C-alpha cells in the first residue's frame, strides 16, 4: 500500500508524486516535514488564523479550512458533549436591580424588579460525563435566559480569559488536553505531555495558564466561583447607540477554593462532591445566588488601552473599568430529570436578543458557528429547539418544517416567505418586522474593521505575557505559591524535557521569580526567556483577581457544611452548643460518628448521626469540630480514619474546634495550636474561612 504522505501532481501523465517538505533545524540538519492539507487534500497555508475581513474584522463564511476543521471536531464523539460533558444544572430566575434602557433595548433589562426565568449549567471541560467533579480544570458557566424576546445564552467560564485567540485553534487545544490518542489516558487531567507541548508552542495561552494553575481551577463549590462571559459584546439602545460590555457573575456566597491535596482526596471520597453540594443546597432551601455585573465602556476607552478588547486572552482590570452590578441570579429548583434537562440542554453563544450584539472577537466568531453544529450532531435533529428545556417561553413562529423529531403540528400550506396566501383568505404565516426584529450593529466598529480578505493576527493581539504578569503579581503570596506548585506538579508529569524547558522560557517573560521557583521544583536550570512577539509591559496589579485576601473571599458560615465528629459518651451540651453556633450563622452541621445510627451522649440523650466516619472524611466539610469524651477519644485514637480526619482538616487550613476530651486525638494527628484551632465556643468566629498562614507548617510549596 502506498504511503499516504502529502502529494503533488507532477504534470507527467497525470501521476501523483510525493512532495515532502524540507526545512533546516538550528544546527543545519535537514528535517523532513509533511504538508498540512484539508480532508480534501487542499494544502493549508495558515492553520493559526481564521479568514477575516481585515485584521480586526469579522470572520468570513467562505473560510472552508475553518468550517471543515470545526465541523469534523464537532462531530467526533456522540452522544455526550466533546467538552463540558460533565455538567450540573439548576433552574432559577434573574431579577433586574435597575433599568438599563440607557444602554440597551433588550427587554429583560428594561424594568427594575422584573424576573426572567433561566436554566444554568456548570461543568468541567476536559473530562467525560463519568469523570470526577474536582480536577484542576476550567469550569463552564452557562446561563440560558428565557426572555420575552427569545432565548439569550450567556455561555462562559469561571475564568475571564481563554487559552487561544482564534477559534481555528480550538480543536487543537482540546485534542491536546484530552486523553492522549494512543493510550486513552489521562482522563480529566492536563498534567501530561501533549497538553503542555501545545501550550509551550502557544505563547498566547500563557495568561490563561496562570489562571488555570491558580486556585480558580480548583473551586471549593460550584456555588463559590465567579462566572465570566469572556468576550467583549455590544449593547445597543433604542436609539442605536452602541456600548461595549463584558459580563461578570459574582457569587454572593463568596469565593472559595480547595487546596490541591484536598481536591485529590475529594475525588476519592466523593466523585460527585460539587454536583451533590449544588443539589443538596437547593433542596434544603439554601438557594445559591450570583449578582450579574457589567463592565460598560466606549470605543474611545477601548482604543486607549494597551491591549485589544477583542482579544479573548485579555481582561480589563476592574480597577480600570469597575463592575456595575445590575441584577441577581437565584437558583431555586433542581431539575426533575437529569437527562431531559441537564443533558439535553443546548447552549449557543449565537442565541442573543435585540439590544445585545456580537463583536469581531475571532474566538467568539468561531463559536457562533461551532455550537449550533455540535448540537445538531449531539441531539440528532434541527428540531432540538423543541425539547422542553431548550424551547423559548415566548411565542415561536417561522416557516421551518419537517425534519427528524418534528413535534409541532402545522396548519396551512404556506412553508415559505414571502407569500400572498392571506389575500386568498388562507393562513399566510408570520412576517419579518423591521422595527422590533433583531438588527445587527452597522456602526463604526463594523465598518472600520473591514478590509482585504486575509489570514492574519492583528498586531494588537501580539502581547502574550503582560497580562499574565499582571495576574501573577496581583495574587496573594499563598496563591502565588499554589500556582507555582501547580505548575511544578503538572510539568513533573511531562516526559518531554524540551517541553518543560520551553514552558520555563515562557514563564521567564511572566515573572523571573516564578520561573526560578518552578525550575527549582523540577531540578532544572532557568533558561533564557523565549522570544516575545511584543515587549512585555508592566501593567501594575489588580487585587480584584485574588481569592485569598481579595474583595470577594468567602468569610461566612452561611451556605457551608461543617462536620462535627462525636462518639458515644460525648458531652451533649458542648455538641449542642456547636450545632447551634453553626445554624445561627446560616451553616449546615453534619454529625459524623464511628457508626451510622444514634449516638448516645453522656447523660443518656441520643442524636442520629448523618454519616459514618470512614465515609465522611473532613475533606467534605468547610471546617470541623471534634467533641469527644476522654474514653471516646481513647477509642478513636486507634482508628486511622479519625486521626486522618483531624490531620487533613489541619493540613487543608480549616478551622478546628476541639474540646478538652478530644485534644489527645489532635496531638496524635500532629495538629499544632494556632489561631484557628479553638475551643467549641469560638468556632463560629473562625470557621467561615481558610487559614492559609498555617500552610508552610504542613507542606512544602514551590
- Positions marked catalytic: 84, 157
Any bridge partners for residue 297, and if so which? 244
Cα–Cα distances (Å) from 369 to 40, 229, 427, 568, 621, in that order, read: 21, 17, 33, 62, 42
d(C-alpha 324, C-alpha 333), whole Å: 27
Phi, psi of 251, rounded to the nearest 5 degrees: -70, 125
Contact 122, 141 (CB under 8 A): yes
CB atoms within 10 A of CB 446: 19
Task: Give the three-state DSSP class for 491.
Answer: helix
CB atoms within 10 A of CB 701: 17
CA-nearest of 265, 306, 319 to 641 is 265
CA-nearest of 72, 8, 74 to 371 is 74
Peptide bond into 492 cis (omega under 30): no
d(C-alpha 13, C-alpha 346), whole Å: 52
CA-nearest of 679, 677, 682, 680 to 694 is 677
* Cα distance between the two ends of the chain: 53
Count CA atoms closer than 13 A to 654's CA, side-chain side.
31
Three-state SS for 621-665 is CCEEEECCCHHHHHHHCCCHHHHHHHHHHHHCCCCEEECHHHHHH
d(C-alpha 19, C-alpha 684), whole Å: 73
d(C-alpha 326, C-alpha 293), whole Å: 6
d(C-alpha 627, C-alpha 609), whole Å: 14
Burial of residue 380 (number of CB atoms within 10 Å: 0-12, 13-18, 19+): middle
Cell numbers at residue 302, please?
477601548
d(C-alpha 50, C-alpha 64), whole Å: 10
Please give the sequence-ordered ranges of beta strands (E in DSSP) within 601-698, or none if there are none: 606-608, 611-612, 623-626, 656-658, 677-678
Cell numbers at residue 660, please?
478538652
Task: Give the three-state DSSP class for 584.
Answer: helix
CA-nearest of 390, 315, 313, 351 to 155 is 351
β-pairing, 606-608 with 598-600?
antiparallel
Amino acid at each position: 500500500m502506498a504511503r499516504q504522505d502529502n502529494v503533488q501532481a507532477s504534470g507527467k501523465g497525470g501521476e501523483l508524486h510525493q512532495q515532502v517538505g524540507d526545512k533546516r533545524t538550528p544546527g543545519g540538519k535537514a528535517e523532513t516535514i509533511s504538508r498540512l492539507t484539508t480532508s480534501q487534500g487542499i494544502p493549508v497555508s495558515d492553520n493559526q488564523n481564521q479568514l477575516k475581513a481585515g485584521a480586526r474584522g469579522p470572520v468570513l463564511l467562505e473560510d472552508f479550512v475553518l468550517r471543515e476543521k470545526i465541523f469534523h471536531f464537532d462531530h467526533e464523539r456522540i452522544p455526550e458533549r466533546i467538552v463540558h460533558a460533565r455538567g450540573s444544572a439548576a433552574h432559577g430566575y434573574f431579577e433586574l436591580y435597575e433599568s438599563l434602557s440607557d444602554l440597551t433595548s433588550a427587554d429583560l433589562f428594561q424594568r427594575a424588579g422584573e424576573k426572567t426565568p433561566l436554566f444554568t449549567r456548570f461543568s468541567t471541560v476536559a473530562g467525560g460525563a463519568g469523570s470526577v467533579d474536582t480536577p484542576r480544570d476550567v469550569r463552564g458557566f452557562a446561563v440560558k435566559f428565557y426572555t420575552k424576546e427569545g432565548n439569550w445564552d450567556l455561555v462562559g467560564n469561571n475564568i475571564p480569559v481563554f487559552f487561544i485567540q482564534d477559534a481555528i485553534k480550538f480543536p487543537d487545544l482540546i485534542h491536546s488536553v484530552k486523553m492522549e490518542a494512543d493510550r486513552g489516558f489521562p482522563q480529566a487531567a492536563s498534567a501530561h505531555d501533549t497538553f503542555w507541548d501545545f501550550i509551550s508552542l502557544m505563547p498566547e495561552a500563557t495568561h490563561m495558564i496562570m489562571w488555570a494553575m491558580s486556585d480558580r481551577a480548583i473551586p471549593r463549590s460550584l456555588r463559590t466561583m465567579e462566572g465570566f462571559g469572556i468576550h467583549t459584546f455590544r449593547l445597543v439602545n433604542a436609539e442605536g447607540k452602541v456600548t461595549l460590555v463584558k459580563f461578570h457573575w459574582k457569587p454572593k456566597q463568596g469565593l472559595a477554593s480547595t487546596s490541591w491535596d484536598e481536591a485529590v482526596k475529594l475525588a476519592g471520597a466523593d466523585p460527585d462532591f460539587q454536583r451533590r453540594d449544588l443539589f443538596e443546597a437547593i433542596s434544603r432551601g439554601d438557594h445559591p445566588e450570583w449578582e450579574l455585573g457589567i463592565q460598560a465602556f466606549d470605543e474611545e476607552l477601548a482604543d486607549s488601552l494597551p491591549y485589544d478588547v477583542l482579544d479573548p486572552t485579555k481582561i480589563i482590570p476592574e480597577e480600570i473599568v469597575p463592575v456595575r452590578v445590575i441584577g441577581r441570579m437565584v437558583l431555586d429548583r433542581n431539575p426533575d430529570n437529569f437527562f431531559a434537562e441537564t443533558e439535553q440542554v443546548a447552549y449557543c453563544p449565537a442565541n442573543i436578543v435585540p439590544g445585545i450584539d456580537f463583536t469581531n472577537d475571532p474566538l467568539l466568531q468561531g463559536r457562533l458557528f461551532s455550537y449550533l453544529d455540535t448540537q445538531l450532531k449531539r441531539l440528532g435533529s434541527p428540531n432540538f429547539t423543541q425539547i422542553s428545556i431548550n424551547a423559548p417561553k415566548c411565542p415561536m413562529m417561522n416557516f421551518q418544517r419537517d425534519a427528524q423529531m418534528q413535534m409541532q403540528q402545522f396548519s396551512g400550506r404556506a412553508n415559505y416567505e414571502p407569500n400572498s396566501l392571506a389575500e386568498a383568505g388562507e393562513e399566510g404565516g408570520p412576517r419579518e418586522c423591521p422595527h422590533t426584529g433583531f438588527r445587527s450593529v452597522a456602526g463604526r466598529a463594523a465598518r472600520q474593521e473591514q478590509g482585504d480578505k486575509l489570514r492574519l493576527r492583528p498586531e494588537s493581539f501580539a502581547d502574550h505575557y503582560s497580562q499574565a504578569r499582571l495576574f501573577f503579581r496581583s495574587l496573594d503570596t499563598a496563591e502565588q505559591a499554589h500556582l507555582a506548585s501547580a505548575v511544578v506538579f503538572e510539568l513533573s508529569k511531562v516526559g518531554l524535557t524540551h517541553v518543560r524547558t520551553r514552558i520555563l522560557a515562557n514563564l521567564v517573560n511572566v515573572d523571573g521569580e516564578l520561573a526560578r521557583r518552578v525550575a527549582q521544583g523540577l531540578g532544572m536550570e532557568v533558561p533564557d526567556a523565549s522570544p516575545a512577539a511584543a515587549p512585555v509591559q508592566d501593567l501594575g496589579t489588580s487585587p480584584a483577581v485574588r481569592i485569598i485576601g481579595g474583595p470577594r473571599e468567602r468569610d461566612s458560615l452561611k451556605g457551608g457544611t461543617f462536620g462535627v465528629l462525636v462518639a458515644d459518651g460525648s458531652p451533649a451540651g458542648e455538641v449542642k452548643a456547636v450545632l447551634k453556633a453553626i445554624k445561627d450563622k446560616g451553616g449546615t452541621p453534619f454529625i459524623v460518628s464511628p457508626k451510622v445510627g444514634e449516638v448516645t451522649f453522656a447523660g443518656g440523650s441520643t442524636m442520629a448521626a448523618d454519616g459514618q466516619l470512614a465515609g465522611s472524611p473532613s475533606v467534605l466539610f468547610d471546617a470541623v469540630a471534634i467533641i469527644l469524651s476522654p474514653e471516646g477519644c481513647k477509642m478513636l485514637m486507634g482508628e486511622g480514619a479519625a486521626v486522618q480526619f483531624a490531620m487533613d482538616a489541619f493540613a487543608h487550613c480549616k478551622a478546628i474546634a476541639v474540646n478538652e476530651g478530644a485534644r489527645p486525638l489532635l496531638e496524635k494527628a500532629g495538629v499544632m495550636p494556632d489561631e484557628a484551632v479553638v475551643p467549641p465556643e469560638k468556632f463560629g468566629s473562625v470557621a467561615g474561612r481558610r487559614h492559609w498562614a498555617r500552610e508552610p507548617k504542613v507542606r512544602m510549596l514551590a
